[in-house]
Amino acid sequence: MPSPASTTQRALLGLLSIRAWTAYDLTRQMRRALRWAWPRSEANLYREVKRLVPNGFATATEEGTGRRSRTKYAVTDRGREEVSAWLESQPPAPPQVEFEALLRLFLADQGTVDQLRRTIAETRQQILERLEEGVVIAEDYLHAPPFPERAHLNVLFMHFSAGFARLVLSWCDDVEAEIDTWPGTATAVGLTPGTRRMLEETLAYYRTTLDQYNGEH
């Protein structure tokens, strides 16, 4: 019996439901569009693409291109049904953050403040590089969207990615300003005026947001 589709396979099937793709095109689309929500290594994506065919979710057709050939994948009815059933299932998995800089911050007292500064600076640069890619994609959708019939969905996805980028950049600025006041990460710094203010703001946000949403529902 075929094994159940993984979430990554379902994402790939969703892309194949838009049109047929080669494995290279699929991985490129995942990097371009979905890495904000479902980041996966290129090697992992290629493996998942190849598993779609034995499970009956997709077909594979060899196409000749000059002296080279390529494999194009197309979704099957079973593959479409798998995506539809997944979208119907409740509830979705809870949101998760895979953010190595945050983990390094948590353990920064085992290193140096300069190491933490580099981590934050590199994280900011990574986000800025993604924003440069985002400018190209957003301009495409304003002037010549590659999939105009899906613009209403793709723009909402981009709106999230922009908000996430804004959050991370603001967090980087706050962390840099705070750690500039520390003698080091390994020192018993404790609660500083800056982190106390952040803690109070965080608690206030938790409470007001919960009150707002609990009151509406």
The CATH number of residue 82's host domain is 1.10.10.10
Residue 39 banded pLDDT, cuts 50, 70, 90: confident
Residue 131 banded pLDDT, cuts 50, 70, 90: very high
Tell whether 200 is covered by a domain. no
CA nearest neighbour of 39 among 107, 106, 124, 130? 130
Residue 146 banded pLDDT, cuts 50, 70, 90: confident
**Interval 42-98: pLDDT, tens:** 899 999 999 999 999 999 999 876 677 889 999 999 999 999 999 999 899 999 888
- pLDDT reported for residue 35: 83
1 pLDDT exceeds 70?
no
Q: Which residues make beta-bridge pairs with 73?
A: 21, 60
**Is the N-terminal amide bond of 146 cis, ω within 30° of 0?**
no
Q: What is the domain count for the chain? A: 2
From 88, 109, 137, the end of a domain falls on 88
Tell whether 199 is covered by a domain. no
Tell whether 206 is covered by a domain. no
Tell whether 216 is covered by a domain. no
From 37, 56, 88, the end of a domain falls on 88
Same domain, residue pair 155 and 132: yes
How much is the pTM?
Answer: 0.87
Domain extent for 155:
100-189
Tell whether 2 is covered by a domain. no
For the chain, the distance separating the N- and C-terminal CA atoms, rounded to the nearest angstrom, is 43
| Mean pLDDT calculated for residue range 108-125 | 96
Torsion angle of the four alpha carbons 120, 123, 125, 128, in this order, in degrees rounded to the nearest 10? -130
Tell whether 1 is covered by a domain. no
Same domain, residue pair 107 and 184: yes
Same domain, residue pair 109 and 178: yes
Same domain, residue pair 65 and 119: no
| Mean pLDDT calculated for residue range 4-29 | 93
From 55, 88, 121, the end of a domain falls on 88
| Mean pLDDT calculated for residue range 128-150 | 92
Same domain, residue pair 111 and 150: yes
**Interval 155-213: pLDDT, tens:** 999 999 999 999 999 999 999 999 999 999 987 889 999 999 999 999 999 999 999 99
Same domain, residue pair 125 and 79: no
Same domain, residue pair 114 and 139: yes
Same domain, residue pair 181 and 126: yes
- pLDDT reported for residue 118: 97
Same domain, residue pair 174 and 109: yes
